[in-house]
Amino acid sequence: MRDVIVIGAGGGGPVVAKELAARGLDLLLLEAGPRHADPEREWTHFENEAVGRFRWGPADRTRPAWLREVPYNALLMQLSGVGGSTQHYLANSPRAMPGVFAGYSRPDAAAYDVAHRFPFPYEQLVPYYEWVEHTLPVQTAPMGTKEPLFFRGAERLGLPLNTTKDITRDSFRPQENAILQPGGNAGHTTDAAQLLWPQATGCTGCGCCWYGCYEPRKAPANLKAKRSTDNSYVPMALIAAGWQPGGRNATLITDAFVTNIGTEERSGDTVARRVTWRIGATGEHVTEDAKVVVLAGGCTESPRLWLNSGLPNPNDWVGRGLTDHFPDILIGEFDEETAPFKGPSSAARADFPGRGFLMNIGFPPALAALGTNLSDGGMAGFYDNGRPDASGANASGRLIGNRFADFMARYRHLYGVIILTDDDVEANNRVTLSRSVPADEHGPVPKVFLGHRHPSARTVANREFLTRKTVELLRAAGARTVHRLNLPPFVLHLHSTMRMGLDAADSVCDPNGAARAVRRLYIADNSVLANSLGGPNPTLTTQALATRTAEKIFALEFGGQPWVSREPPVSSIDPIVTRAVVEREPAWRAHG
């Protein structure tokens, strides 16, 4: 019997695996998708190929992607494979807004989703933020041509610079992100031959964060620039004995789609006991017992697995409360070159507590062309799909024909800003099981209610406020024209479908991240977030929470001592970790 089985090697799962393997527990990490053992050879910066490689689908690429029912015009971006959706992520790592936590009492307290706060105060999470920020590590983002332009606009709007990590007032700042600062030749040349590790370290400025990070080439896995979990927490979990005294290496099995969490009844309690997964290559099913099960399949698959396993759902909140930051994108066109294709994809932000935030967004050309055509607002200049625009932008909706061609011809002068809204937890925005799409080899497939979601009046007002601010900011920075995409559901950030909460009536997990209805079952992905964090990008908070949950598991289920406030964290780029990675890497490459 394993001590702990973690389901899902994305943003959250590997954090629990690393922390508990470092404490000497016998850890099994199961991942439905592939392990890209050698991204340098397997991945590419050619956009068409790169986008095709990253998908929600099986390791065997001759087989189709896994189905989900996503009614209406919507894009749901989640990935399978080691690293999960962090393979795609831009690594922006802000903390949540303090106003979304219990006990917040500043004058603006009522501006947030007061009915669905985190069930403990912000200050309690700070040591866990610091631990993760050191481990990844999180640093101030390197700046390129596009960032000063954003700062210019923000300053002209009268926003102050925020020099702290806490978001408590309207302000702007460089992003804190989980991308290593450039060193050596990095940042000084575009000559690929000079951008090899160790002559180059950290971010080489390739502008391809979206497509998985394998820069600088020749670097060991833990020294790749972007700190997606495949470059940080997963290597650390697999070599825990190599860097932590008393650590024990976790076992990772990929191509292992978990189809059932088995339980037993003990003294009137339902207790998680075993996990069954299907091996993609053979179709065989394997079952193992565990003392504790951690569910970290992400916001769509965690509720799906719960429902397919027939686990109790007494208050019917499994899958409910989906928040997605109700995003939109605006693009300014400038006389000057904006270089949208260089450097970390996003390195500047402006926060509006109680409303959400805006951040600049760089995009390689094919993504720019695709993005410009993602709209719910009809065709610019022809019809508006009932989504008229009051943001003050010059145009809204899809660009077509010559207008689109002119726009793309000015690609080097375009400047994207994405807005991410503080959106309310709503019971009817949810993941459930599809009744119209047939079950696949893993059981009934999930249906994600995006197209006909029900944003609250506050959510809609926040989105409109942020789009107006973005138009003002871009104009203040010097934009000639501003175009609003008026996006359909464009889902990069999903949260809160298995939310933790103070009230047992509208939450699935208790304040420890433990499922209320099934003992010895914990949740450690974005789905356990109590709300949408006020707008900030979610992964750092999920990882801080997963660290806290690992401590709770160790203390409550194994009688261990907490460590975060008692020991210094070890960084994933510490030389001791690098040595252990270099020793183990040949074996990873051999086994895939």
Ligand X SMILES: Cc1cc2nc3c(=O)[nH]c(=O)nc-3n(C[C@H](O)[C@H](O)[C@H](O)COP(=O)(O)OP(=O)(O)OC[C@H]3O[C@@H](n4cnc5c(N)ncnc54)[C@H](O)[C@@H]3O)c2cc1C
Q: Using CB under 6 A as the criterion, which residues of the chain lie in contact with ligand X when the complex forms?
A: 7-13, 30-33, 77-78, 80-81, 84-86, 88-92, 210, 257-258, 296-299, 301, 305, 492-493, 525-526, 537-540, 542
Q: How far is the CB of 396 from ligand X (least distance, A)?
A: 23
Residue pair 378/400 in contact (Cβ under 8 Å)? The answer is no
Query: Between 242 and 538, whose beta carbon lies closer to ligand X?
Result: 538
Q: Which two tokens stand for residue 387?
A: 């989504």
Q: How far is the CB of 125 from ligand X (least distance, A)?
A: 15
d(CA 32, CA 146) in angstroms, rounded, equals 37
**Whose Cβ is closer to ligand X: residue 134's or residue 218's?**
134
Closest contact distance (angstroms) between CB of 443 and ligand X is 9
d(CA 467, CA 358): 9
Residues 6+ apart with CB under 8 A from 278: 256, 257, 259, 284, 285, 441, 442
Please name the helix (run of DSSP H) or strand (run of DSSP E) that holds residue 303, with its range, or none. Answer: helix 298-308
Nearer to ligand X, 204 or 539 (CB): 539
**Smaller CB separation from ligand X, 177 or 391:** 177
Closer of 82 and 186 to ligand X (Cβ): 82
For residues 242 and 534, which CB has a smaller minimum distance to ligand X in the complex? 534
* Closest CB to ligand X among residues 393, 425: 425
Q: Is residue 132 within 8 Å of residue 538, measured between CB atoms?
A: no
Q: Which helix (H) or strand (E) holds 333?
A: strand 328-333
> What is the closest distance, in whole angstroms, from the C-beta atom of residue 254 to ligand X in the complex?
9
Helix, strand and coil in the chain, % to nearest 5: 30, 20, 50
Shortest gap between Cβ of 588 and ligand X (angstroms)? 17
Q: Residue 584: in which H helix or E strand, if any?
A: helix 575-591
As measured in angstroms, the least distance from the Cβ of 84 to ligand X is: 3
Q: 32 or 125, CB closer to ligand X?
A: 32
**Structure tokens given for 480:** 């000639």
Q: Which is nearer to ligand X, 376 or 525 (CB)?
A: 525
**Least distance between ligand X and beta carbon 81 (Å):** 6
In the complex, minimum distance from the CB of residue 23 to ligand X, in angstroms, rounded to a whole number: 21
Q: Which whole-number Å values give the CA distances from 451 to 244, 378, 491, in the listed order?
A: 47, 15, 11
**Smallest gap from residue 543 Cβ to ligand X (A):** 9
Write out the two tokens for 588: 């990873």
Q: Is 153 exposed, middle or buried (0-12, 13-18, 19+ CB in 10 A)?
A: buried
Token look-up 């000084």 returns 188
At closest approach, how far in Å is the CB of 246 from ligand X?
A: 27
Nearest to 422 by CA among 128, 113, 10: 113
What residue type is assigned to position 257 of the chain? F
Which residue's CB comes closest to ligand X?
10
Return the closest-CA partner of residue 247 out of 27, 484, 7: 27
Nearer to ligand X, 209 or 573 (CB): 209
16, 214, 295, 446, 552 from 514: Cα distances, Å? 13, 35, 10, 23, 9
Can you say whether the dihedral through the CA atoms of 376, 378, 380, 384 is positive or negative?
negative
Task: With beta carbons less than 8 A apart as the criterion, state whether 386 and 368 touch.
Answer: no
Residues near 585 by beta carbon (within 8 Å), at least 6 away in sequence: 220, 221
Helix (H), strand (E) at residue 358: strand 356-361
Contact between 539 and 89 under an 8 Å Cβ cutoff? The reply is yes
Smallest gap from Cβ 193 to ligand X, in A, equals 30
**Nearest to ligand X of 180, 479 (CB atom):** 180
> What is the C-alpha to C-alpha distance for residues 59 and 54, in angstroms, rounded to an integer?
11
Q: Which is nearer to ligand X, 32 or 318 (CB)?
A: 32
Which amino acid is residue 40, in one-letter code? E
For the bound state, the minimum distance from the C-beta of residue 178 to ligand X, rounded and expressed in Å, comes to: 8
